[in-house]
Amino acid sequence: MSGRVSKSIKNAEVNLIFYFLAIFLSFYSRKIFLDCLGPEFIGLSGTLSNILGYLNLAELGIASCISFHLYKPLQENNHEKLHELLSVFGYLYQCVGLIILTLGLLLSFFFPWIFGNTTLSLGIVYFAFYSVLGSSLIGYFINYRQILLSADQKNYIVAIYTQTAKLIKTILQIYLAYNYKNLYLWVFVEFLFSLLACVILNWKINKEYPWLHANKHKGKSLLKKYPGIITNTKQIFIHKIKDVILMRSDELFVFMFVSLKMVAYYGNYTLVVSRLGQVFSAMLDSINAGIGNLIAEGNKEKIMQVFWEMLTIRHFVAGFLCFSTLHFVEPLISVWLGEQYILDQTITALLAVYIYISSSRGVVDMYNHAHGLYADTWSAWTELAINITVTVIAGYLWGIIGILLGKIISTGIIIVLWKPYYLFKSGLHLKYTSYWTGAYRYYLVSTISILLGHYILRFIHINETENFILWLYYCIIGLVIYLSINITLILFFCKGSKDSILRLTNILKR
């Protein structure tokens, strides 16, 4: 087994271990935090995090650009070039950190108007925001070198230290919330553990790369040596604006069009769905750097074989997540938090559709990144315009339903239709029809599997909202039905299915 595959497996193994350690804590802690700290504070926490996400637009996509430039010198073991690139990255991130700090301070002056309708005191609003802002700035001023670990397929090291800190932090926050119900103490612990994780991770980077002596003070002069970084960064920045609005805007729009309390209610659904998706992301996203390495090698036959293998797996996962969101999330919310937290079923259905689109897009995104394809900035502006237009109009009329419609329509046009065309034309240099000859089958198979599974499951009479045991029993029966249909159809109709099964079998044996 190649070193690239071995590293991908190790990344996946570590991510999975921490996922299963964290999932129980996430659901248990959510219940404790809602009961002890209140849904309005939890809504505030999510809203502030999303505000910070907009401030992080100042990052411009520098990390994505630098990681693309790191693949080749890592393959060639070119330490000198790695020193220079990390120095440039450190300098740019220092500038970005100063911009974010300035913007954050300026924005905070408007909090009395932004949060004028909340019952929470402005003191906790400011304390929470400055803590979240400080945690983010740590990454820009101190922790920038961890990008080398990710590009070198050693993201498991980042996961070990950061996820361990998160687990300990959550346990401590549960204890403090349950016993003291002090909002300031909860926020302080959040910031403290971000700082501790950063210090420990930097110590580990020094151990892992003792030869690395990046000097961000030399970054400004070295930047002239790499003009492509500025060009690519400008292109990535446009795409990053779009991504931040799509990924970070949900809770802000819910706050604008509905209420701060409903941010927490909607957040319960997105928490469940995101945790469900993370178990697969832990495995699938671990190969990102491996794809970059594969493209750098230039074996076109191998590149396309892996493409279809990964596309098969991605659509299998997307269908699984879509079906699970439709049938299992609502009864889980009822058992876990209570019926008062249940949202309209139309919201669940639209969330499931968006989950399918966002989960199945990963392969095309990885290949575009590995080829450095960011010049289609018009597509980002188009997606952004469609999203904002539909969200503002539909969100005003229908609330959360309209917000989800904005995401689905914009991503459907650009992500499903345009991005594969751009990859095949400008990156792989193949006919676009060759993509849809294989890809349409995945969409068709998933649709048939979900509809058939839904129809059959209607005849299964279980009171899945009574307790966790019956809910789990309902999930097992539902998944057996769905997976039996879906796997059978994939094997008979989908391109790359046999290769993907062979790869998964080898990985499991490993």
Strands (E), 401-483: none
Instruction: Count how many domains the chain has.
Output: 1
* Domain ranges, residue 209: 14-254
Q: Which of 459, 484, 454, 460 is nearest to 473 (CA)?
A: 460
The answer to whether 70 touches 199, Cβ cutoff 8 Å, is no
- Higher pLDDT among residues 31 and 506, named by residue: 31
Range among 29-43, 139-153, 249-263 rated most confident: 29-43
Q: Which amino acid, 413?
A: I
Q: What's residue 323's pLDDT?
A: 95
Q: Which is nearest to 8 in space by CA: 151, 172, 153?
A: 153
Q: Is residue 27 part of a domain?
A: yes
Question: What is d(CA 302, CA 312) in angstroms, rounded to the nearest whole number?
Answer: 16
Residues 219-227 have a mean pLDDT of 83
d(CA 486, CA 443): 11
Q: Which is nearest to 327 in space by CA: 460, 490, 484?
A: 460
What is d(CA 30, CA 26) in angstroms, rounded to the nearest whole number? 6
- CB atoms near residue 457 (< 10 Å): 18
Nearest CA among 417, 412, 409 for reference residue 389: 409
Quick one: pLDDT at residue 342?
87
- Distances in Å between the alpha carbon of 117 and those of 120, 249, 255? 9, 20, 11
Query: Which two three-digit tokens encode residue 36?
Result: 């002890």
Range name among 75-84, 340-349, 387-396 with the lowest pLDDT average: 75-84
- Answer yes or no: is 158 within a domain: yes
The token duo for 356 is 């399918």
Q: pLDDT tens for residues 280-296?
A: 776 666 666 677 777 87
Is 328 inside any structural domain? no
Indicate the residue type of 217. Answer: H
**How many residues are given for the chain?**
510
CB 273 within 8 A of CB 325: yes
- Residue 277 CB-half CA count within 13 A: 24
- Per-residue pLDDT, averaged over 322-333, amounts to 91
- 3-state secondary structure string across 239-277: HHHHHHHHHHHHHHHHHHHCCHHHHHHHHHHHHHHHHHH
pLDDT at 1: 43
CA 463 to chain centre: 33
Residue 6's pLDDT is 64
Strand (E) or helix (H) holding 4 = helix 3-37
Burial class (CB in 10 A: 0-12, 13-18, 19+), 508: exposed
Q: CA angle 52-57-63, nearest 5°?
A: 110
Cα separation, 393 vs 113, whole angstroms = 24
- What is the average pLDDT value for the chain, to the nearest integer? 83
pTM, two decimal places: 0.69
Q: CA–CA separation, 198 vs 200, rounded Å?
A: 6
Question: What's the confidence (pLDDT) of residue 371?
Answer: 81
DSSP string of 31-60? HHHHHHH-HHHHHHHHHHHHHHHHHGGGGT
- Domain assignment present for residue 32? The answer is yes
Digit-coded pLDDT (tens) for 341-369? 888 889 999 999 999 998 898 889 888 88
Q: What is the pLDDT of residue 380?
A: 87
What is the Cα–Cα distance from 229 to 235, expressed in whole angstroms?
10
Termini Cα distance of the chain: 9
Distance CA 97, CA 141 (A): 7
Q: Which of 121-130, 196-205, 404-413, 474-483 has the lowest mean pLDDT?
A: 196-205
Q: Which residue matches tokens 């553990």?
A: 193
Q: How many CB atoms lie within 10 A of CB 231?
A: 13
pLDDT of residue 163: 81
What pLDDT, in 10s, does the model give residues 393-407?
Answer: 998 888 889 989 999
Name, in order, each residue with C-beta under 8 angstroms of 36's C-beta and a sequence gap of 6 or more.
Answer: 177, 178, 181
Whether 111 and 126 have beta carbons less than 8 Å apart is answered as: yes
For the stretch 111-146, pLDDT in tens is 999 888 788 899 999 999 999 899 888 878 877 788
